[in-house]
Structure 1
């Protein structure tokens, strides 16, 4: 009788796990909507953050960029730890639930307009993201174990969910916050996170994930009290970490020390993984780290969208129909337009054996992102008497660098799961998100070059860069110095973007040249 019940249960789980929707595991679509609402909350808050600090809290540009960069760095520095805890103790499912709850509390308390709640709320979101982000991505990789040929397409669809949230959230939250009060906008972001948790819980109850994401076997072998104790310690530790993380955001000017410490810890852990891995695993891990480095460059440029580009749009772009915070939805809108075509493109090219290797995709992506920033810079050629540029250049630049994003971010998510040693998938996925952490750190440095009253570094004042900047922007730095403040601020933005675009394109071309070597490291992974 017991064996019959066990057999029926296994058959039910296998049936639930095996059902396909549009050729993909059914669990993908529950993860899709869970991630959609989580990203709704995340991007809704993020779109408002810099404008909230400069307009409402009256922080300077430099201080706002520093807080934004520190927050962004920490958001993506915590996933390796969250991934490791999931690998060893919680499993993906419990880690996702814990992270979602912490993020929901953080978004909701951010609606209380007080400095303690401001920094404490950002800290809760940082810690919660560390548990949520790497493990939901690892869940997507896990449900494609039996369909590895569809993993690129599956992650691209998953990426569509990320960007549906990213498109809708700035439009609604920023409109609500700037029209009726900031606390309403932040509160709506918190409600979005609650919806994300409800969708994930629905997938768990429906058994669409099969046995994926449960507590690791090493944790299950202990007695119930021990497991309960470990889970409780993780929760208590997460709560106790809130003041520490809040302090790191508040003292953001010391962020570089944190980056050095994170690098040192990661180096030690990765060295240990290298020692415990086979020759093939080590080679593939080298490829994963290479892609992580390129992703760092990508995020350093890309994350101008939430900081300097938002203020550029507010001060120097002739916006039509939307406010500056709402421009954060442009990138996600283009991704939604491109996601399904790219998903079908990769599948089609795989069938005809013409799908470009991952190193080529990354190289093309970097070049495209660089071109996008050159387009932002060239907008100054059409500046009006009020020092405002046509919105067309903002839209076109966003479109080109979004194309670049499609070659890097969803592809990278898929390849990290394939290139990582099986025992350390969540941790290496967390390392992948560290690229975004370092990217935010360097993005803050770039953004501060555009701050009001900032001075350009010496290399940007070289004769070559001056000539190049004038060719791209149509503006002469010395002439602009004698014009109004609006033109001086415009030149600060476009000269920085012209330089960023040039450097990114050059790095993309170098990455293209390195393709043969990296393909060897990948040991058969495409």
Structure 2
């Protein structure tokens, strides 16, 4: 589970409640009671999201009998789209629906998506993924923003409230692979997906009950209720959102289907010539680049230099997530095929990262406070360099495990655990501070746009991660089954390359640190 999900929405929601607004409704344990409804709603939603994610590639390879290449392509396309739609969902909530209606719509779509995965048919499979993509776009950015509306700006309890909420995210992410992975492997994949659907329904009911009981007060309602009801072509604007969300499903399904298929005349590889590759490379990336160039030219020297630092930080975080997101694809198959899984199955290994986040998050927070008091807190570019280096070391641990493999090409699970621990500490060096600096460094006129790009960095990272994962493919249509030792050499060879490349980017971040410090103009 990625800490970015907390840090992004935390900073956005700092501006969600008007200045001087009072906390909403009754309190519990010194916090607004609504916080705990949101805590459990998000816990169960993340349970459903990460339970399904832990099973997805394994299901495609072992049950649908897709080749590694096809499975990685679909997984990458899904990841790219699921991190792109929250930008649109957040805008629709701000301008029309409000947070509550958006959350309810997203939860319903996601519940349908999880249960549709339990039906073994291609139409249901791609339709289910499309439902999850659209539903996540409405749910994810808005439930966290709801947390911010419960606190007045400047309320000293805000950080503690988000820490409680963030723990719910990670508890859900940690438990989901354990439960859904056990059900999927022991009783059948569809039981695992069904459990994820049940988790989503529980989250939906928790949020609905909170809204019905009035613990949110008037927070999260549409800014202009009349606008939501206003009719266009005989249908209210609010209903048009639901209709267009359903209309978008087949188009997203096509994007997912072509996530691993080459379209002639585009790109040099199957991946960048796919339909999702065309959208990312030839539409989205040029548009973002042109807007950024225009913004750089327009700003004064100081703002321009700070914005350039933001662009560099976004580049480095994209590199980090591109390697990190092997967790749901190549690392999961590596665990299944080449790790002696003595007390968990391959799907359940996805719980290792959120477990370490829960374990280390508060000590890391205390460590940064201590360093700040001692005036030893590293500058942000240095933290980025150290975080990427730790991730690289984690992948080198995976690669090093090949030296201790048994005759079947399997290695001890402790190599997997140690590698994941280093990847997680790397995440804690980067993710909590990244967006904080983006919001500080970005020109105020375009801070929302830059935050949107920060979201999209995860989308591009999933796209790149899919291309990297394909380098580990050892199963394909018509190909002879490889031995355990052969697959071990393929996986660890790629992991070793990732480790060295990560170290290269860490060195680059250190080299650029003096220049970035200068261009940050006093921001640490």
Matches of 2:310 and 2:102 in 1, distance apart?
A: 24
Instruction: Note closer, same or farther for the CA distance 1:363–1:245 as it changes in structure 2 (3 Å cut).
Output: same
Shift of residue 190, structure 1, vs aligned partner: 1.3
- SS state at 2:230 partner: helix
Q: Are 2:114 and 1:92 equivalent residues in the alignment?
A: no
1:185 equivalent in alignment to 2:192 = yes
The alpha-carbon deviation at position 418 of structure 1 amounts to: 4.9
By how many angstroms is 1:128 displaced? Answer: 1.3
Q: CA deviation at 1:295?
A: 1.7
CA drift at 1:286 = 4.1
Match status 1:291 vs 2:296: no
Q: CA deviation at 1:210?
A: 6.8
Residue segments in structure 1 that go unaligned for 5+ positions in a row: 1-9, 455-483
Taking the aligned partners of 1:323 and 1:180, their CA distance within structure 2 comes to: 13
8 Å contact kept, 1:44–1:174: yes
Matches within 5 A, 1:88-487: 88-140=95-147, 146-147=153-154, 157-201=164-208, 204=211, 213-216=220-223, 219=224, 222=227, 224-225=229-230, 229-252=236-259, 253=261, 254=274, 255-260=276-281, 261-267=283-289, 285-350=307-372, 353-419=375-441, 427-452=449-474, 485-487=483-485
Contact 1:80–1:428 (Cα < 8 Å) also in 2: no
| Counterpart in the other structure of 2:65 | 58
Question: 1:97 and 1:196 mapped to 2: Cα distance?
Answer: 10
Q: 1:37 to 1:346 in 2, by over 3 A?
A: farther
Picking from 67, 71, 76, the partner of 2:78 is 71
Question: Does the 8 Å CA contact 1:365/1:408 hold for their aligned counterparts?
Answer: yes
Higher helix share: 1
Aligned residue among 516, 519, 522 for 1:518:
516
Local SS of the residue matching 2:120: coil
Alpha-carbon offset, residue 130 of structure 1:
1.7
Contact 2:67 2:475 in 1 (8 A): no
Query: 1:311/1:249 Cα in 2 relative to 1: closer, same or farther (>3 Å)?
Result: same
1-side partners of 2:168 and 2:335: how far apart? 26
The C-alpha deviation readout for 1:211-264, integer Å capped at 9, x for no partner, is 664434xx5685852698332222211110000000100011312101122223
Deviations 1:271-324 (A, max 9, x none): 677789888766655444333222211111111111111111111111111111
The one of 4, 11, 22 equivalent to 1:14 is 22
Alignment-derived partner of residue 35 in structure 1: 42
State whether residues 103 and 142 of structure 2, in contact with CA within 8 Å, keep that contact through their aligned partners in structure 1: yes
Alpha-carbon shift at residue 100 of structure 1 (Å): 2.0
Q: Could you tell me how far 1:371 is from its partner in structure 2? A: 0.7
How far apart in 1 are the matches of 2:158 and 2:119? 42
User: TM-score, with normalisation over the residues of structure 1?
Assistant: 0.82
Contact 2:296 2:308 (8 Å CA) reproduced = no
Q: Alpha-carbon deviation of 1:31? A: 3.8
CA distances 1:193-217 after superposition (whole Å, capped 9, x unpaired): 222233444555676667664434x
Q: Distance in 1 between matches of 2:245 and 2:362?
A: 37
Write the distance in 2 (CA, Å) between the matches of 1:354 and 1:173. Answer: 43
Displacement, 1:127? 1.2
Q: Distance in 2 between matches of 1:525 and 1:44?
A: 39
2:21–2:151: 8 Å Cα contact kept in structure 1? Answer: no
1:87, 1:424 within 8 Å by CA — same for their partners in 2? Answer: no
Whether contact under 8 Å (1:152, 1:410) holds in the other structure is no
Does structure 1 conserve the Cα–Cα contact (< 8 Å) formed by 2:228 and 2:237?
no
Q: CA deviation at 1:495?
A: 0.9
Q: In the aligned structure 2, how far is the partner of 1:81 from the partner of 1:104? A: 20
Q: Aligned in 2, Cα 1:183/1:222: closer, same or farther, shift over 3 Å? A: closer
After alignment, is 445-454 or 296-305 more displaced?
Answer: 445-454
Question: TM-score of the superposition, structure 2-length normalised?
Answer: 0.82
Query: Is the contact between residue 307 and residue 447 of structure 1 (CA under 8 Å) also seen in structure 2?
Result: yes
| Cα deviation 1:401-434 (Å, max 9, x = unaligned) | 1111112223335445555566766654432221
* CA–CA distance in structure 1, aligned partners of residues 304 and 204 of structure 2: 36
Secondary structure of the equivalent of 1:16?
coil
Alpha-carbon distance change, 143 to 489 in structure 1, aligned in 2, over 3 angstroms: same
2:56 to 37, 49, 54: 49
1:158-182 per-residue CA deviation (whole Å, 9 max, x = no partner) reads 4432221111001101111121122
Q: Take 1:33 and 1:280, find their aligned partners in 2: how far apart are those partners?
A: 44
Tell me whether 53-62 or 160-169 shows the greater mean CA deviation.
160-169
Retained in 2: the 8 A contact 1:19–1:26? Answer: yes
Q: 1:141 to 1:150 in 2, by over 3 A?
A: same
Change (3 A) 1:19 1:185: same
Q: Structure 1's 15 and 163: CA in aligned 2 closer, same or farther, altered over 3 A?
A: closer
